[in-house]
Copies of this chain bind each other. A is one copy, B any other.
Amino acid sequence: MATIKDIARLTGVSCTTVSNVIHGRTGRVSAETIEKINKAIEELRYVPNMSARSLVSNSSKVIGMINHIIPKNDQNLMEDPFQSSFLGAIERTLRENGYYLMLRTVETSEELITFLRNWNVDGLFFTGIFKDQFFDALSTLKIPIVLIDSYVQHPNICNVGLEDFKGSYTATKYLIDHGHRRIAFASPSIRDGGVLQERFYGYKAALTEHSIPFDKKLVFEYEMDIASCMALASELVQIPDITGLVVTADVMAAGIMAGLRKHGKKIPDDISIVGFDDISLCSMTTPTLTTIHQDIHLKGKIAVELMLKKLEGVEPEKTEIILPTYLVERESVRSI
């Protein structure tokens, strides 16, 4: 509970000098005073009070990781509230740079703004933002914002994302190259201007390029939980000429595989599947899952780097970073 005042008293100097030493503004402080102050800081176990700092400086060293729930699918997000290994990477790097991470779920832009002002939040991370009123509100904020996996453009806002289009295109082409023609697409609800839409476009582009007519009936929009995947599988088996399936997430692919198996379908003999993400689960399924790889850790690292640059007032050279994806071949696709 020692304060700057205590340090000042103990060392017989003023608060100003203590503060200056703490902040390394030692240009005009005698070496011996510095020594004394540092010793006192040690002894009294002084720890800065961030609230006080925040109050006076209008900045808080708090970075918010925002989970924007849209009413209809909050349940879903709660299941995997913030892609966790990602969170770990972010917290670590922020901490190493003297920042603090607050997690916050918001539903409306009002809630968000209230939160920001409550704490003088210095910067924000978001994942999966869409081009809607919520984003419009975002774009008026003056603090650094880094979006992850979002396809919305704004001069002041950084983006870290993936080659979603290319990834999905590659997955589809891979199936086509293996002789598949009736290829379905499975994904959680595809929203305009979102990651999943890009992946959907990639799928369509590959079809078109190979003169395969796009068939709306082969697009399955289902949630990612296991029950939905089972239901999706039941639908899938109703269309017996489907031989290939592109899925926008590995967990979903695994769920669908389990569902198909229940219906007596063999993978890849009856249906070939390509996933997306390349999480460790891919090596655990039977058969192992061919998928599109992304480096989630790198995504986190780069997101923080952009954030730190902006916090320091440096405008990053590139505000739009697209990380590569590539196909990892495993056992879930066969040639026909």
Q: Which residues of A contact B (CB under 8 A)?
A: 1, 47-52, 54-55, 60, 65, 67, 77-85, 87-89, 91-92, 95, 100-105, 113-114, 117-120, 225-226, 251, 254-255, 257-258, 261, 280-281, 283-286, 288
Contacts and interface: CB of A to CB of B under 8 A. Distances in A.
Given A51-B55, A84-B81, A87-B103, A226 B283 contact: yes
Nearest to A118: B50
A222 to B, nearest CB: 14
B117 A104 contact: no
Nearest to A288: B258
Contacts of A105: 88, 91-92, 95
Contact of A280 (B52, B102, B120, B226): B226
A79 B101 CA distance: 18
Number of copies: 2
Given A102-B101, A104-B101, A120 B51 contact: yes
24 contacts: A49-B55, A49-B117, A49-B120, A50-B119, A51-B54, A51-B60, A55-B55, A65-B103, A78-B88, A78-B92, A81-B84, A81-B88, A81-B91, A82-B84, A82-B88, A83-B84, A84-B87, A100-B102, A100-B118, A101-B102, A101-B103, A226-B280, A255-B283, A284-B285
Contacts of A60: 51
Contacts of A286: 258, 261, 285-286
Contacts of A285: 258, 284-286
A5 to B, nearest CB: 14
Nearest to A55: B51
A50 B54 CA distance: 10
A184 to B, nearest CB: 19
A284 to B, nearest CB: 4
Contacts of A255: 280, 283-284
A227 to B, nearest CB: 9
A83 B95 CA distance: 19
Given A104-B101, A105-B95, A118 B48 contact: yes
B114 A104 contact: no
A189 to B, nearest CB: 19
A78 B82 contact: no
A270 to B, nearest CB: 15
B95 A85 contact: no
Given A51-B120, A81-B87, A281 B280 contact: no
A49 B118 contact: yes
